[in-house]
Amino acid sequence: MRKSMTELKEEMRAVARGERRASPLPAAPLLAALSREALDLLGVLLREHPANVTELVTLTGRAQSNISRSLQLLAKHRLIRLVREGREIRPEAIAKSVRVDLATGTYETTPLSETAAA
């Protein structure tokens, strides 16, 4: 079911106020993006908390162009955020887990802040 722009704005406001959770997202694009390399990259972000992309390249041994593409894809799916600090970009994991509903073909993420409180 498609939502109008007004409905989407109201949902975003309610989520920001903490009154409700965001609607589940289509799972197929996320599942296609979660390659072994992407999962390894997420693991490094969650365990090591690199200060910037350069440090992440060093930790993984992967090419910077490869890392940058992977980070953009993970950010698109709301698993990480890319924080600009001057000329550096700090990749930051924002999701601890992903729950896929196979019946509806959607997914929801569990933010790191929720798991820390639990």
pLDDT in tens, 32-61: 889 999 999 999 999 999 999 999 999 999
117 or 87, greater pLDDT: 87
Partners of residue 25 on adjacent β-strands:
107
CA distance 68 to 32: 17
Question: What's the whole-number mean pLDDT along residues 73-101?
Answer: 93
**What average pLDDT does the structure give for the chain?**
87
Q: Which of 66, 67, 109, 110 is nearest to 89 (CA)?
A: 67
Contacts of 104 (CB under 8 A, 6+ apart): 24
Query: What letter represents residue 112's amino acid?
Result: L
Q: What SS3 class is residue 105?
A: coil
Q: So what CATH class is 24-117?
A: mainly alpha
CA distance 44 to 104: 30
- Residue 57 pLDDT: 96
Which two three-digit tokens encode residue 90?
Answer: 């700090």
* Predicted confidence (pLDDT) per residue in 69-80, tens digit: 999 999 999 899
